[in-house]
């Protein structure tokens, strides 16, 4: 389950996640109460509240209550009592907190499904999975090495048992994976650090920098899926033919028959899939030979179907940045994790509907979104604030308007994108994990600040209620490393007819 009782929390990291989840529960109820113009009761702890904490997963026995109070603090503990009592009296409030509630999640997971199945390796925050889910698939296993990514994945994918989201280095945990029967697709994007300088004639699978790619191939051999979708950076083009060879060399036994894989690759840009961002990615598709023969298909024919769903009408950055509360940059350090009316909050009421323009309707799947997550502005120094003010859309670090205050002018020959003000009427430049470092390459086109994690997530096509867990800077990392869900959805849709 997503929550473990406080008495089972042993490490500092687990304690931090535990406290974050308690605060998340409280904040969700507070926002609901505010939005509905209701009021929280002021109550004392009682048996109903204690029982509900067991159902949520915050405690296992009454003996845990003192430790719970000590861990979250006096004020948060009092709020937790009041919020729990309120949630027990309001059915709609129960829906608001179901993703953070063990018993509610268990009900969702008990539902049987005959949807096509995917295993998501190097799953990150879950963008690739989300696209497949929106196309009518179900995830049966996910793995990532980063604990914060796994926490984000668990929260946003309540239909999957948390025990099936395995945190750990694939090199250590691959042998421990319990193999679901008849996996339809293995998806993922293994980090491949060696590709930028790889020799075309050097065998990639033997490059020590690319061991994770090797283990992805091993996972394909273990799961024997009908299809494989592997996403990676453009730099992997240098070794694309070797990767194809590695897929072609896989041999698996399916119902007593030895079969292999037929693979191909294509460079795709997310802006052609309705994402408000120009983001080139190399997409490999491999088909198990018996499936390819049965349906008379090849990866090339799948790519042709994908291409038929592409659009020439690009969504501009402006559409992703509309209908969200304007914010100011904090001018004092250390406030990025502090909620504030002017600079934003990790969880806030959505003043709009979530369907206010075509792009938002698409990424939110036509749903009304009551809350907005991770919309918090980043600290700006006095110098950076002046730079943000002076630059116009499309300007970078070499612009004459900031020459007198530019702190990195001696590096402009190789570092001109250190500062860049985004252009509103074009698809956004690529969102990257580097945003966690300073975000200066993505200055808001209209407001005097850089983009927030929520705005970056919108640009990536995540829905507004997709919560990124963990510390503020790690939210940028999770968003930047993700596969845009809209792009993943259309790839998944092209494959789905062959999984009947």
* Domain residue limits, the chain: 6-107, 111-312+486-499, 317-472
Residues 99-145: pLDDT tens digits?
A: 999 999 999 999 888 999 999 999 999 999 999 999 999 999 999 99
At the top level of CATH, the class of 111-312+486-499 is alpha beta
Q: Which of 192, 365, 414, 428 is catalytic?
A: 192
Distance CA 463, CA 245 (A): 37
Residues written for the chain: 500
Residues 18-47: pLDDT tens digits?
A: 999 999 999 999 999 999 999 999 999 999
Q: Output the six-digit token pair for 258.
A: 């030895």
What is the pLDDT at residue 387? Answer: 96
Q: Output the six-digit token pair for 162.
A: 């948390």
Contact between residue 120 and residue 156 where contact means Cβ atoms under 8 Å apart: no
In this structure, the strands spanning 344-349 and 280-288 are: unpaired
Q: Domain 317-472: which topology?
A: DNA Methylase; Chain A, domain 2 (3.90.120)
Distance CA 185, CA 250 (A): 15
The pLDDT of 409-430, averaged and rounded, is 81
Annotation says 192 is catalytic:
yes
Q: Output the six-digit token pair for 329.
A: 């940059």
Residues 257-285: pLDDT tens digits?
A: 999 999 999 999 999 999 999 999 999 99
Residues 84-98: pLDDT tens digits?
A: 999 999 999 999 999
The pLDDT of 206-210, averaged and rounded, is 58
Distance CA 475, CA 130 (A): 17
- Which residues lie below 8 Å from residue 419, measured CB to CB, with a gap of 6+? 387, 391, 395, 396, 397, 402, 406, 440, 441, 443
Distance CA 354, CA 131 (A): 18
Distance CA 45, CA 214 (A): 54
pTM score over 0.85: yes
Q: Which bin fits 414, alpha (ψ -120 to 50), beta or left (φ > 0)?
A: alpha
411 has pLDDT over 80 = no
413 has pLDDT over 70 = no
The pLDDT of 285-291, averaged and rounded, is 97
């Amino acid at each position: 389950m997503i929550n473990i009782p406080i008495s089972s929390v042993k490490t500092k990291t687990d304690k931090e996640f535990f406290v974050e989840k308690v605060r998340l529960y409280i904040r969700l109820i507070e926002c609901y109460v505010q939005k509905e113009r209701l009021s929280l009761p002021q109550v004392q702890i009682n048996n109903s509240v204690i029982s509900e904490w067991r159902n949520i997963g915050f405690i296992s026995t009454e003996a845990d209550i003192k430790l719970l109070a000590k861990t979250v603090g006096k004020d948060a503990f009092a709020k937790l009592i009041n919020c729990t009592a309120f949630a027990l009296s309001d059915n709609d409030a129960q829906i608001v907190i179901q993703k953070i509630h063990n018993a509610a999640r268990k009900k969702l997971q008990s539902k049987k499904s005959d949807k096509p199945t995917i295993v998501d390796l190097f799953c990150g925050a879950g963008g690739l999975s989300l696209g497949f889910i929106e196309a009518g698939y179900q995830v049966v296993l996910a793995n990532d090495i980063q604990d914060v990514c796994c926490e984000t994945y668990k929260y946003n994918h309540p239909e999957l048992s948390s025990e099936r989201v395995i945190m750990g280095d694939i090199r250590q945990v691959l042998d421990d994976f319990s193999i679901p029967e008849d996996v339809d697709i293995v998806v993922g994007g293994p980090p491949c650090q060696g590709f930028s300088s790889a020799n075309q004639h050097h065998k990639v699978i033997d490059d020590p920098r690319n061991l994770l790619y090797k283990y992805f191939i091993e996972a394909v051999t273990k799961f024997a899926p009908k299809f494989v979708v592997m996403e990676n950076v453009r730099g992997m083009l240098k070794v694309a033919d070797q990767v194809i060879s590695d897929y072609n060399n896989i041999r698996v036994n399916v119902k007593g028959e030895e079969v292999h894989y037929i693979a191909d690759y294509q460079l795709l840009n997310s802006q052609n899939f309705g994402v408000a961002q120009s983001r080139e990615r190399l997409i490999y598709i491999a088909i198990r030979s018996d499936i390819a023969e049965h349906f008379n298909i090849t990866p090339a024919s799948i790519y042709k179907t994908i291409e038929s769903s592409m659009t020439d009408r690009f969504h501009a950055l402006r559409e992703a940045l509309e209908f969200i509360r304007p914010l100011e940059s904090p001018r004092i350090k250390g406030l990025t994790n502090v909620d504030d009316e002017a600079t934003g909050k990790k969880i806030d009421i959505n003043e709009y509907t979530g369907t206010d323009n075509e792009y938002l309707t698409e990424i939110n799947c036509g749903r009304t979104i009551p809350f907005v997550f991770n919309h918090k502005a980043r600290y700006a120094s006095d110098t950076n604030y002046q730079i943000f003010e002076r630059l116009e859309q499309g300007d970078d670090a070499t612009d004459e308007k900031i020459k007198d205050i530019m702190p990195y002018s001696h590096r402009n020959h190789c570092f001109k994108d250190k500062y860049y003000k985004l252009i509103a009427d074009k698809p956004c430049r690529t969102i990257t994990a580097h945003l966690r470092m300073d975000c200066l390459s993505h200055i808001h086109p209209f407001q005097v600040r850089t983009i927030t994690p929520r705005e970056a997530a919108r640009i990536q096509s995540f829905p507004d209620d997709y919560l990124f867990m963990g510390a503020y800077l790690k939210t940028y990392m999770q968003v930047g490393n993700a596969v845009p869900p809209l792009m993943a959805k259309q790839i998944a849709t092209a494959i789905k007819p062959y999984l009947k």
